[in-house]
Structures are given as C-alpha cells and as structure tokens.
Structure 1
C-alpha cells in the first residue's frame, strides 16, 4: 500500500514539476498518463503515427475515454527547479487505438496510438462516382464529408487543375482514394499544428514555393540531447543512383482520333548521370499540351520524371531537434556535399524516446532543387476486372425513344452508384461497342431507357468505361427462349422484325413492319400460331404497293430448278413469243394470198430481238407456261 501511494505521489510530482521530456494529453481524460516511451514516423503525403506507451495509476481506463478523442503529444524541456517544463513542440491528433498491456501493484501499462484526423479516412471504404470535377474539388468534397472544414485543411497551390469528365473511387478507402488522386497530379501534403485551436492542419501544395524555409541547424559531432541543449545535425549521408534521362507518354483520345497524343520531357541534370527513357502509355490525359498545363501529356511526363529524379539523390542524417518535420528545407552552417549545398528537403522523420533513453531522430530527404520538386509516389489505380451492370438512362423515365448525343453515345446509371442524381445525368456519355463500325456506317440498334447493359473498362481503368453489350433481365425478357429456340430474331421496340426460322423443312424468313402490315414472307409461311398458311413467298401490304425497275421488269412463272441459272434466263418466254410470231407469220401469209389485210409481223419480231430479250430496254415481260389471267374491274 505504501509503495502504491509512493508511486502515485511520484507521478503527481513528475506531472507538477514537469520532469518528463514528453507529455501526452487526451481531451476529457481525467487520468494522468505518464509517458514511458514512444516512437513516431512522419512523412510527406502520409498520415503520421505516434505510438506511445504510458503508465497510469488507474487499472481500468474505459476505451471510450480515449478512442477517437482529441489528443496531443508534447516535446518539452524539464526545468528541474520546481517550475513546469517548457513545451518545445506539440503534435495534435486523435487516439486511433488503445490497449491495456499489463498491470502491477503500482500502476498499469497502456499503449495508445495518436494519428492525424485525416488518417480516420482510412476507416471508410467504398465506391463513388464524381463527374466534371477537378482533383482538388473531389478531395475537398471527401474531406468535408468527414467533417473537416475550412480551418482543418488548406490548399496552397500554384496551379489551377482542370475538371475531369470522370473520377471513380473503386473499392478504396477514402484515404487511399485522395492519396491516389493527389499523387497523380503531383500534389503533396504536410502538416502544421494550430496551437490556438489545438488541432492539426493539412497543407496541400504542388511546388517548391510552399516548402517551409528558414530551418537552420549546425552540423556537429554526435550530441544527442547534450547538456548544452544545442540542437544540431550529424552523420549526414548521401546516396547516388543512375536514373532514366527522359519520360515519354502517349494516349489515345477517341474524341480527337487522329490528333497526335505524344509527349516527352527531360529535366536537365548537370552531372550527366541519367540514361535511357521511360515510356508510359494510357496516362489519364486528353491532350498532349505542354509541361506547364496541368493534366496534359507533357505535364504528366514531367511529373514522372520528377519522381524518377527524386530517387537520384537520397540524403539521411541524425538530429537532436524535435522541431524537424517533413516539408521543411533544412540548411546548415557546416560543409556538406555539393548535391545538398542548397538545402535538404525533409521527406521522412523518425523519432523515439523513453524515460531511460535519450531522444533520437533520423531523417530522410532529397536535395533542394529549383527544377525538381518533391512528388509523392504513384499509387496504382484500382482495376475493375470484367464488367459492371448498369441501365441505360434517358431524361424521361420509360422514354419511347433512345437518348443519344451527337456522337451516338449513351447515358447510364451504374448499379453500384448509391447517389440520386437528376434522371439521365448519373454518368458520363458512353460509347457502345459494336460488331461493325466505320465512317457513318456500321451496326447500331438504339438502346432504350431501362435496358440493362454491361459496362467494361479499357485496361481495367475505372475512368475509361464503355458499354460492351446489352442484356435481357427479369423486367426485359428475351424474345428467343426455349419456346422458339429454332428462330433467329432481330426485333425493334416498334416490332419491326427480321425473323429467320431454322427448323428443318420449315425454314422461312420474315421481314416485316407494323405500318400497313407490310411484309415479305419467304419459304415455309406460317401464321401467328405457327400454323402453315402457304409456301414460297408473299409480298403484302395494307397500303399502296409498287414494283419498279428502271431497266426493265421480268415476271415469270417458268421453273428454274434449285435457283440455278442466270437471273434473266428467259428462253422459255422468248420461245413462246417466237412460236406465236411464227403462227402469226403463217396466218399473215394466208391472208396475203387471199388478198386480205396483213399484220406488221416484223415490228413484233424486232421487239423481241432488240428489247424484250435480256431486258435490253425498259420493258415489262410477263411469262407463264400454263397461261395468264388478268381480272380488271
């Protein structure tokens, strides 16, 4: 009991007298958490993380006392004179994890993790669609969805970023999603601490202008937290790597199919230790553009080369200053290699400390350069394998006709989309893949509102969709089923129809439209109940009809076995006419002998020879071996 009271008194004394170099505070937590040890990692474009081990006289702190509560970790300088310790630097965040490690008669050992508020975006995962918004607009929208407002983040950008037709989040956490988007356009982020509001602030930036300058530390031999209290750096190491000398990009934009989309960028390196070329196809750009125009081919090529050059020189070192943080440009009064003479851009800081050991800090960075900025590493875009179900949309539900744009594209609503946009505006215009296409020719049957379609993605890229095909479903049943499995049917919503029956000995083709019940029926003719009503062919309409042939028309009932022989085979018809002419010639001779009037047989003969035969003129020839009958009234 006396030991417990002694330890409790000691903790209170430490708290009051400030003899610890570290302090952790959790909002509305009444328990004193005495830091036993800690370790932390801070990097550009990543949520930092402080893992803190503490002791407490309370043996059972409720989890809801700490989890998701605002917290702070303070580096401080003990005074050892009865006055409170002087705060050096305070990091604000929230408690993301908490566990009870062990307990004794004196106190209980706990471990907790403090992270920035933006790290909580990692606990929300899903799929979303964003239309006609820029990367920065989408990022801001995601942040605000999580309750982060104006004082919580700031865009310090030197460029304006264009709107994209489509930005898709696919099975990503919100944190992964914004990290991916920001990295694509070269925006990196760091943190500032607002001591007035006692919260962390995320700073988004895209150029060297937004680095934090004015950080200078002397270069000294290893000092740690020396008795002199002088903060310094030491053990500076530099690493050099050969990297690619240029980056080329190419993409294809069907909207401007013949416009070249090639770009190449090479950032000069005076040391001449670059070689080769890195080529990337299908970057997310629409125009080749130039390196200063965001989201063009040249712009993405430059960003990629900057990322490559970030790996050309690497710097690491140690420091005794808890003030060092990613995004700072560190300078020194000591002698450094030429590559880092202009300063070191801090990219990562790792720190640790405990009651028994001194504070340690190691940092990593890249040389400061006017031509090469830090760029976060690209995260792979998610891949959508296969297809996603969607429905064609029109501006009117159940529209009678298709809603297409001037390029013949469709609007759809993807099934996974939980938003409620205006009817017909849930997704961007999509092309429809077809089995045959060309310059204003091809195969295209317009799709109506409500039709189920399969949307696929070029290369699996969520931002490159197109309609692959249409499908029947329970609300739109198939017109070819087990009931008519021998039929091949192309039928439009207005019941225009091409039907081809493949049942043996009952083969037929029907080409029909509802207007005037106009039909061409060929082969085994059937009615609506599939009962035979004839054979051969039928051309019929309830409207007017016309048979027109500008070079002549041949109507015949003469047989032509198995559809063999020339189309204008008319020997039987010509023979019948010649026989008739011969009979007329005999009659004409008899009439002439009797002194009667004679006929002009030569004209008839010339008609057959010069016009009717092979339809040499615009004539009408009708032939029937068993005779003809014409009924007029």
Structure 2
C-alpha cells in the first residue's frame, strides 16, 4: 500500500472520529494524535519548518517514538465528510515538547523539518576537500548521511570546476553546504516524492527547473463566497533601489601578469537605470580567469560579477499576498489573473511571479491561511539565494609537510615551488603527498628567481595561515620545531645563531663575547669549512684563531683581476683591501738590487739581468692593476713539498732576487739549461766550481772556450795526467818565447836563450801520439711563428700543441710575436703543429 493510500485511509478515520481536517501521522507512535494547530514556512534555499501542536489521551508519549521519526502532516480540504488530502508535508521530528497535561489528555508540540535538518547536528571544526566541485562536495556529504540518489537531484546548466581545496571550518554540514551553494548561485527547494511520500531536495541554477503553469485569480473572499475556488488577495508590492552594476577583481599568483578584472556588469542591460544606483566592486580572490563577458564559464571573474548583480536584483521587488491555495510552493511560477475590466494590479505584478516563500497556519478554530512571498520572474536573469558569509580563520592551523614517498629525505615541490601539507585536523583518507592544494611558502625575501627558500622536508610541522582569513586560501606562514623535530638552538647553545640544512650544511655564528666565530661548512669533501675567528672543535675546545679554509678535497682560489696574499697586519680592517705598500716596497727594493747587479754585469761584460721585465712586473702587480698574484710576508715565506716544486714563465723571465744569499741545495742532480746563453758573474769573492766526486766536464760544442784571469791560472792533476790536445795547433806563449805544435812539428822560439836542463838528450826516429778526439753531440732546433691561414697575420697569444716524430708533445701559448718555443730534436724529423 502506498503512502497516499494510507493517508487517504487515515483521513477517513480522522473525519469519522475527530472531524479534524489536519492529520498527523507518525508510524512509530501508536498513540492517537489530534492536531490542535500548526504553522509552517517553506522558502527557497531554506529548510521548511512546521510547528505542530496536538493533543493525545496518551499523557506519556515516549520521545523515542517521536524524535527523528518519519512524520507526515496532511492538510485536508473540502467537506468534513469528504476530505481530500490537498497538501502533505513529510519530514522528521527535530523537537518534541510536552506542554501540559490533564486528567483527560496531554498537549504536545513537535517541529517537523526535512531530514537534512539533522545535518546541522554534525559539526566540523575542520574538514578539507581536495579537487572537487561544489556539487561534488554537496553530493558526498548527502551520501555520507545516507541519502539515496533519488532523494536529491541536481538540475544544472553550468558545469562547475573542481576547486583545488574547499575547507569546512567551524560549520555544521548543513551550514557548510548552504554556504557553498549560495556562493555559486545554486538554489534548492523541496518536493514530495509521490510514490514514497517523502521529500526530495532539488538543486538548480536555471529558470527551467521551476514549476510553471500555476495560475490563481485575484479574488478576496472577505464577506463573499469564493465558491471553493482558490484565489489570492491583499497583494502588496514593495520595490527597492538596488545596486546598478558589479565589477569583480582578483589576483592569480600562477599567472601574476594577468589582470583579472571583470567587465562592469549590469544584468538589467540598462533597463534599471531609473531605479538602480551604484557600482559594487568586489576584490575576492576566488577566480583564476576573467572569463568571457557574454557567456562566462562558472567561477570566473565575469561569472561572479553577473551572479552578484543577480543577487541584488533578486531582492529588488517583493510581492506579498494571501491565498487559500495550499498547493503553493517555493519555486513555482505564478500568474495572477483579474476578472475586472480595469486592472487593479501594477503592470509588473500582472506578469509572471516567482514564489520564493510560503507560510501556512491553521487550527481547529481558524481556517487555513496561506501567505505567499514572490518576486518578479525574468527570462534574462535567474533568482539567486542570498550569499552566506564564509567563516573567517583567525590565526593559523597546524599541518605537516607531505610527500608521496615514505621517509622522503628531500622536499616534495611542484614546478612552481609549492608544497602539499596534511592538516593535523584532517581525518579523511587522501592520497599520500597530495592531502591539500599546492600551497605557497611565505618567505622574508623573494623576487624573480631570487630570494630565501629553505626546502621543507616531509613531516616538518608548519603553521598554515589564510589570506584575509579565507578558509580556501591557505599558505605556509612558517615552520615550527616539535619534540620529533627538535630545535637546533636550545639552552645548551643559546649564544649561537645557526642555519643548518638536513644534510648538515651549516652557517654558524657564535655571539659569546670573547669567543666570536663564524663557521660555514658542508659534510662533502671531509668537512669542507670556512672558519673565522675563535675556532673550536665539536667539544668547543679551541683549535685555532683567525681564519681557516679547509677540505679533504680540492681548493681553488681564483681572482679574475688579481690575488693578493699577505701576512701584513691590518688592524680591524682599517685600510683598503688591496693596500700593499709593504709588498710594493719589497718589489721596489728587489728591482733596485737587480738593477745594480745588472749594471755591474754590464761593466764586467757579462750578460745583465732582464731589468725591463722586472720593471713591467712591478708596474703590473702594484695594486694589481693587471691580473696577477702578489705573495708577501713581513717575515718569512716557505714553499715546500715532498715532491715536485716548479717555477715557470711561459714567455718572459723568472727573476730571483736576494738582498743576502741565494742558496740552492740539491741532493741529486742540479741541471741548468738555457735555450740561448748562461752568464755567471761573481763581483767580489770569485766562483768555486767543485765536484767532490766524478768528472768536471766543460764543453763548447759549437764554438771555443776562452779562459782569462788577471792573475795566475793553475791547472793541476793531483793523482793523474794533464792532457792538452788540439786538432790543428797548440801554442804555449809567455814573454815572447813560445812552443808551437802544429802539423806534426814542434816549433820552439824565443827572443833570448833556450835553456835545456837535462841529464841527457836523445834524438830518436820520428814518432807520433794521437789522442782520440771526443765526438761532440749535434742536434737540430727551430721555433715557429703562428699565422692566420687566410689573412697571413701573425697570431699572438694563441694556444698550440707540437708533436715530434719521437712522440714528444709540447704545449704552450705563442708570445707577442706569434712565436712558439724552440723545439730540439736529435735528428731531422717532421713535426705536427696544432693551434688550439
């Protein structure tokens, strides 16, 4: 048996037993309930609410049989003997009140509301919906409360976008969904499902969702018989001056260059100029695009502007009246007809009206009265519910930085540097690492790919704030330490200022007086560190003072304009960074010594030192006017290595200048090779060339040897022979006397006497004595000049590589004249020359 059949049967029972037009049917309550009076209100985008008083001979009706139970209030019309159910209101009892009791009966009061009224009892301080549209959020909540898909219906012309995040904050489920629907202009109303006899909630955003075809005559029953025909009367028409236009503005940080201002929107299209006034400007950061001016997509700037103006226009005209028609309901389009020749209603009211609210009241004593509220129906704009205020979040919410990777040791960011967080208050299951919309991190400094950003790692506690308190616009305000992630500055090191990353990259600044220091370090390279000031170890024991740059890997010091290394004291940085007067004085002194000795060498006809290069070096290095390196100390400098040490100049001179001695001590071989010449000059104490063991060999492989002394020359062989050999001629000369050996002859001559002191002189046959001549080495050498193949121009300072036939490789840079180094080979051979 259907609900309507049961109601008809119940109506017959009531009419036969109580003569009451109004029946209250609560299946869970077995007591007979007799309606005394009721009043109810039904309104667009609001829950209907009926307050019913009834009596019962059961003076102790249990609340368990009434509260939250399915209830139907039926309004019967017609003769008492032939009542028909004209209107049925189904809902649940949300309030039960025993008002009074007597010997015969008790008086009770109940409130009937739709089932969704119970959603106000489900309160959430926090809930977070991710990547869902408004209709999807509403659907999810309704389904969570057990509503079946036929108990609600969405009739939408718009396709609403998924929002990155929608937050429910300090709201019941009912208040939350009412707010969401009002924001996007979706209205709702209720109808009775005829088969089930229960309410269905309809959600819509267009005029076609309303019920059309309702017509009532204008006819007041006052003092007259209405012949049982429903009508309306006492029509009142109120109009207000509302806003003339709306402009919406916004800012989208993902497309910061875009200006998101809507057009100035007038949904009357100029027809309301005489009765509207004022432009409303809303800067509500809730849209990502401006949208089309004519047909804007949902939740774009122009959409919000149109929607807001439709809200204002929805309250511009209000029509109220009385009626006897119990079938009036919100979301009906009503037409009022007049039978008089001259219309009595304003022209606007004679057109279609949209019923926005209806109230019903009746009692055993008073007939049913219907009060309606309506507004003018429009084909060009839709009625919109008033905007419900968004809650405002004061302060911050706690959350944890999230990542899809368990125990992720690196930050989980999107391509714009935004994070995902999991709010501590979030109880819903979500995909790990994506529990929120991508949120920005507030920073103390930022700009175009510059700023301060220390990536936040999974599990880091953060305080999430909200732009203007808007629950749907979160951002990370700051990070916090907790017991699982303790602070790195505590009472134990309260004098230190520390920046430390998860990998222990660290900038530490110690402020303890007398122990100030700065440490910049990384674990890579066996603790690569720059330590400044009072340097301590891990136990805070002093390990040095001053500055230290250390690593177990490589260190490179590069100055494109020059490098100055000195141990000259400059107290408290009181002078210029490149102040080098002491170093310059040392260079000038060295040049003076070099010049003086060069003059002496010139006088002695030795080759002087390269003074020009030394002067150019001083000019270039003084204040580092050219890229160079100055190494200076007021006391001593030591360069040492267990392996090779090398000083080299690619194309100019290497000068060693000492005001005292220059000592060269070599445990093995000492070699000096000059491509052109070697000049040694001792100005005072002479030259000593000793070989403690082994030969002393002196060769002029391509020329002669001149040995000159102002005084004696002594040649002595202590234990062996002295051999003097000449290929062509040997002459001994002194005081005009001579002995000449040449061509196998010995010629002796003198201006005076030849004294031959000997025991005997023998003349024998001819004989000769030839000593083998040492074979002098011969080699080949040459240098090359680099020239451009096309122009033939000399190419100075160009890198080159020379490879000999024996496989030797020489690399260098051509000098100012384009010359390479001189290459020496034992035999004539071809060379490969490559300019790099």
So what's the TM-score if we normalise by structure 1?
0.95
2:308 paired residue number: 304
SS in 1 for 2:68: coil
From 496, 501, 516, give the equivalent of 1:487.
496
1:171 paired residue number: 170
- The range that moved more, 396-405 or 448-457, is 396-405
SS in 1 for 2:217: coil
1:270 paired residue number: 271
Kindly state the Cα deviation for residue 589 of structure 1 after the two structures are TM-superposed: 4.5
1:441 paired residue number: 450
1:413 correspondence with 2:411? no
Instruction: State how far apart, in whole Å, the 1-side matches of 2:558 and 2:337 are.
Output: 99
Kindly state the Cα deviation for residue 587 of structure 1 after the two structures are TM-superposed: 4.1
Instruction: State how far apart, in whole Å, the 1-side matches of 2:550 and 2:12 are.
Output: 105
Instruction: State how far apart, in whole Å, the 1-side matches of 2:129 and 2:562 are.
Output: 63
Contact 2:499 2:508 in 1 (8 A): yes
Contact 1:193 1:201 in 2 (8 A): yes
- The range that moved more, 452-461 or 147-156, is 147-156
Contact 2:216 2:334 in 1 (8 A): yes
Q: 1:226 to 1:415 in 2, by over 3 A?
A: farther
Instruction: State how far apart, in whole Å, the 2-side matches of 1:165 and 1:587 are.
Output: 85
Instruction: State how far apart, in whole Å, the 2-side matches of 1:96 and 1:568 are.
Output: 87
Instruction: State how far apart, in whole Å, the 2-side matches of 1:231 and 1:14 are.
Output: 24
Kindly state the Cα deviation for residue 618 of structure 1 after the two structures are TM-superposed: 3.0
- The range that moved more, 11-20 or 331-340, is 11-20
Mapping of residues 488-507 of structure 1, within 5 Å: 488-507=497-516
CA RMSD of aligned residues (A): 1.9
1:557 paired residue number: 567
2:116 paired residue number: 118
Higher strand content, 1 or 2: 1
Mapping of residues 391-540 of structure 1, within 5 Å: 391-516=400-525, 517-540=527-550
Report Cα offsets for 1:138-179 as digits up to 9, x if no partner: 111111111111221111222221111111111111111111
Q: 1:622 to 1:292 in 2, by over 3 A?
A: closer
1:206 correspondence with 2:193? no
From 275, 279, 282, give the equivalent of 1:280.
282
Instruction: State how far apart, in whole Å, the 1-side matches of 2:14 and 2:507 are.
Output: 92
Q: 1:44 to 1:496 in 2, by over 3 A?
A: same
Q: 1:88 to 1:586 in 2, by over 3 A?
A: closer
Instruction: State how far apart, in whole Å, the 1-side matches of 2:619 and 2:158 are.
Output: 83
Instruction: State how far apart, in whole Å, the 2-side matches of 1:293 and 1:607 are.
Output: 76
Instruction: State how far apart, in whole Å, the 1-side matches of 2:490 and 2:421 are.
Output: 27
1:131 paired residue number: 130
2:551 paired residue number: 541
From 598, 615, 639, give the equivalent of 1:606.
615
Q: 1:221 to 1:12 in 2, by over 3 A?
A: closer
2:90 paired residue number: 92
1:575 correspondence with 2:585? yes
1:7 paired residue number: none
Instruction: State how far apart, in whole Å, the 2-side matches of 1:581 and 1:230 are.
Output: 128
SS in 2 for 1:332: strand
Kindly state the Cα deviation for residue 183 of structure 1 after the two structures are TM-superposed: 0.7
Contact 2:597 2:608 in 1 (8 A): no
Contact 2:337 2:350 in 1 (8 A): no
Kindly state the Cα deviation for residue 601 of structure 1 after the two structures are TM-superposed: 5.7
Instruction: State how far apart, in whole Å, the 1-side matches of 2:322 and 2:79 are.
Output: 25
- Unaligned regions of 5+ residues in structure 2, if any? 1-10, 643-836
Instruction: State how far apart, in whole Å, the 2-side matches of 1:319 and 1:306 are.
Output: 28
1:28 correspondence with 2:46? no
Paired residues, what number? 620
Kindly state the Cα deviation for residue 123 of structure 1 after the two structures are TM-superposed: 1.0
Contact 1:382 1:462 in 2 (8 A): yes
Contact 2:587 2:618 in 1 (8 A): no
Contact 2:14 2:23 in 1 (8 A): no
Instruction: State how far apart, in whole Å, the 1-side matches of 2:380 and 2:312 are.
Output: 13
Instruction: State how far apart, in whole Å, the 2-side matches of 1:617 and 1:256 are.
Output: 48
Higher helix content, 1 or 2: 1
Kindly state the Cα deviation for residue 420 of structure 1 after the two structures are TM-superposed: 2.0
Instruction: State how far apart, in whole Å, the 2-side matches of 1:424 and 1:185 are.
Output: 29
- The range that moved more, 204-213 or 34-43, is 204-213
From 373, 382, 386, give the equivalent of 2:391.
382
1:3 paired residue number: none
Kindly state the Cα deviation for residue 547 of structure 1 after the two structures are TM-superposed: 2.0
Instruction: State how far apart, in whole Å, the 2-side matches of 1:373 and 1:117 are.
Output: 27
Contact 1:224 1:360 in 2 (8 A): no
Instruction: State how far apart, in whole Å, the 1-side matches of 2:116 and 2:57 are.
Output: 32
1:8 paired residue number: none
2:362 paired residue number: 353
1:46 paired residue number: 46
Runs of 4+ in 1 over 6 A off after TM superposition: none
From 334, 341, 350, give the equivalent of 2:350.
341
Q: 1:226 to 1:448 in 2, by over 3 A?
A: farther
RCO comparison, higher one (Cα < 8 Å, 6+): 1
Report Cα offsets for 1:511-570 as digits up to 9, x if no partner: 111111111111111111111111111111111222222333222111212212222211
Kindly state the Cα deviation for residue 19 of structure 1 after the two structures are TM-superposed: 2.1
Report Cα offsets for 1:391-438 as digits up to 9, x if no partner: 001111211111111101111100110012221121111111111111
Instruction: State how far apart, in whole Å, the 1-side matches of 2:641 and 2:80 are.
Output: 128
Contact 1:340 1:368 in 2 (8 A): no
Report Cα offsets for 1:107-157 as digits up to 9, x if no partner: 111111111111111111112111111111111111111111122111122
SS in 1 for 2:590: helix
2:155 paired residue number: 156
Kindly state the Cα deviation for residue 43 of structure 1 after the two structures are TM-superposed: 0.5
1:4 paired residue number: none
Q: 1:553 to 1:211 in 2, by over 3 A?
A: same
Report Cα offsets for 1:236-263 as digits up to 9, x if no partner: 0101111111001001110111111111
Kindly state the Cα deviation for residue 210 of structure 1 after the two structures are TM-superposed: 1.3
SS in 1 for 2:337: coil
Which entry has the higher C-alpha Rg, 1 or 2? 2
Report Cα offsets for 1:21-67 as digits up to 9, x if no partner: 21111123211110101111110111101100001011100101111
Instruction: State how far apart, in whole Å, the 2-side matches of 1:224 and 1:357 are.
Output: 16
Instruction: State how far apart, in whole Å, the 2-side matches of 1:56 and 1:223 are.
Output: 35
Contact 1:339 1:367 in 2 (8 A): yes
Instruction: State how far apart, in whole Å, the 2-side matches of 1:80 and 1:508 are.
Output: 101
